[in-house]
Structure 1
Amino acid sequence: MNQVNDLQTNSRTITRQSGSNFYYAFLFLPKPKREALYAVYAFCRLSDDLVDDSQAGGDPAAALTRWRKALDTYFQDGVGPPVITTVGQAARRFHIPKVYFEELLNGMEMDLTRARYATFEELYPYCYRVASIVGLICIEIFGYTNPQTKIYAEQLGIAFQLTNILRDVGVDAQRGRIYLPQDELKRFGYSEEELLAGRYNRAFMELMQFQCARARDFFRAASAALSAEDERSLLAAEIMRAIYYRLLLRIEAQQYDVFHKNITIGKPRKLLLAGGLWLRSALRSRP
């Protein structure tokens, strides 16, 4: 039992210390679901860190291969590194398909082989793998009854990832990565060289306005796919939606200047959003 508690504490610590928006959504869940989601987040965080080790002179491809093998080993005989053990336990408890975790790693592996996307149609599979798949994993833990909830998870995941991409345009450029579609840079007259140099001008603002409008469309599509019978069980997802949508609004309010301004949502605001949605849900559920 102590070993299980240690593994859960490790995953919880990784989630809390990351400052992730997800941490605030998980606070209102029953402990078994909360611990399972901490494990999922820790797995995602550490998997992503393996890919980013390329910036420190490591061999991320080899590290990711070893991580895949560790995942396979756990699902075969129940043995693996601490984070994989906890996420594997969560997968078994909540009947999460192993293929979801494999697809997530496929998405992260794309960062080792691609640094540009010609069109949004090319970008979509990447967003699906690194974000929508996380949503599909999460709803298995949250619980749902309407199959349409999978559409909700997919669309919300795309909305989250697009918001992350917009917030991190400058950071990604420093790593040599450009996620904004190349054909859309060309359409708005904003060059790759300008983006890599962090050039903030009218063309960039118009490009970002277009990108934000697309993200809004995915937020709307997710809301439209949320069925009434699953609203209560998906409270944590709705808290994340509220936080990420507020982040998108903040990008717009700052005139899309993601190069020179640190665009975040403070902890008090996140807690206020989370608490408000929890209270509204509690009041609706009262007889």
Structure 2
Amino acid sequence: MNFDEYCQQKAAPPGSSSYYALRQAPAGRQPLLTALFALRREFEETVKETSDPTIGRTKLAWWQNETAALAAGKPSHPVSKALAAHLGDVQTEYAALQALLAGFEMDLDQARYLDYPNLRRYLQDVGGNFAALIARTTAQDPARAAEWAEPLGHSLMLAQLVAELGNDARHGRIYIPIDEMQRFNVTAADLINRKYSDAFTELMRFQTKRARDGIQSALAALPAAERRTQRTLRALAALALALLDEIERDGYHVLHQRIALTPVRKLWITWRAARQR
């Protein structure tokens, strides 16, 4: 298996949302985009699929060294080798890659957030920073891509947190700010024990609306000159909006299951989104 095949299997197996979103990108940029998605997946697995924080920190330290090796032109991991082959000047994105890693490191440092301003740093590094990385690969004006990509990345991450609320809670991570849970009279124990209630429904309606409004506002702010260049991000946004609608229709029953779209529906949504003007 070569490094491109590894990245494809890691980041975008057939039927996944990323698989269909990446297929909307220009063919010549798909290997790079796939490598970036694979790197994010590697970071995510390091912190979210490791039960022992000590082991997680050891793995993150390895990735810090590997990122430095990538910047020095001496990568050893298949994903790093793919980035070295497709990214071009790695130094230009080195700080962004480090910030992405630092964002996931926060999952080892804290499992709760006092309020939304505290959560925003996580959303910035893990969501906004990643969206800007993706945007710059195809943008007509890469230097300004962060201005409109980061808000979209924030909101895409919020949508992901809504969809994965139950699984995250079972692993000890609750990304809904504490003050918002208190406002709606929902406790951490309610989430961990999969307790549905009218209060939980209202909390989720609030979380879903914030994510949806953020995505729609970010799409509206996307420069006209960049709409055709950002087919992957637009496809991801369309998938997130469709999934939020599905979660809403299901009554926000995300504590005991992971609600998902069918592959056929994902194909149609991404194809249509990438071609809308």
Return the TM-score normalized by structure 1.
0.90
The question of 1:140 aligning with 2:136 is answered: yes
| CA-CA distance at 1:25 after TM superposition | 1.4
CA distance in 2, matches of 1:75, 1:147: 20
Alignment-derived partner of residue 40 in structure 1: 36
Match of 2:96 among 89, 96, 100: 100
| CA-CA distance at 1:57 after TM superposition | 8.1
Decide whether the 8 Å contact of 1:159 with 1:215 is kept in 2. Answer: yes
Percent identical: 27
Alignment-derived partner of residue 154 in structure 2: 158
Query: Deviations for 1:212-238, whole angstroms, at most 9, x for unmatched residues?
Result: 111122113202321111111112211
Query: Deviations for 1:66-85, whole angstroms, at most 9, x for unmatched residues?
Result: 11101101211333211112
Decide whether the 8 Å contact of 1:173 with 1:195 is kept in 2. Answer: yes
Structure 2 counterpart SS, 1:54: coil
Decide whether the 8 Å contact of 2:166 with 2:257 is kept in 1. Answer: no
CA distance in 1, matches of 2:261, 2:89: 33
Alignment-derived partner of residue 225 in structure 2: 229
Alignment-derived partner of residue 65 in structure 1: 61
Return the TM-score normalized by structure 2.
0.93
Structure 2 counterpart SS, 1:88: helix
Alignment-derived partner of residue 254 in structure 1: 250
Q: CA RMSD in A?
A: 2.1
| Structure with bigger gyration radius | 1
CA distance in 2, matches of 1:57, 1:136: 29
CA distance in 2, matches of 1:135, 1:210: 24
Match of 2:203 among 177, 200, 207: 207
Alignment-derived partner of residue 2 in structure 2: 6
Decide whether the 8 Å contact of 1:185 with 1:191 is kept in 2. Answer: yes
Residues 255-274 of structure 1 aligned to structure 2 (within 5 Å):
255-274=251-270
The question of 1:121 aligning with 2:124 is answered: no
Match of 1:28 among 24, 32, 39: 24
What 5-or-longer segments of structure 1 have no aligned partner? 282-287
Decide whether the 8 Å contact of 2:12 with 2:18 is kept in 1. Answer: no
Matched pairs, number: 277
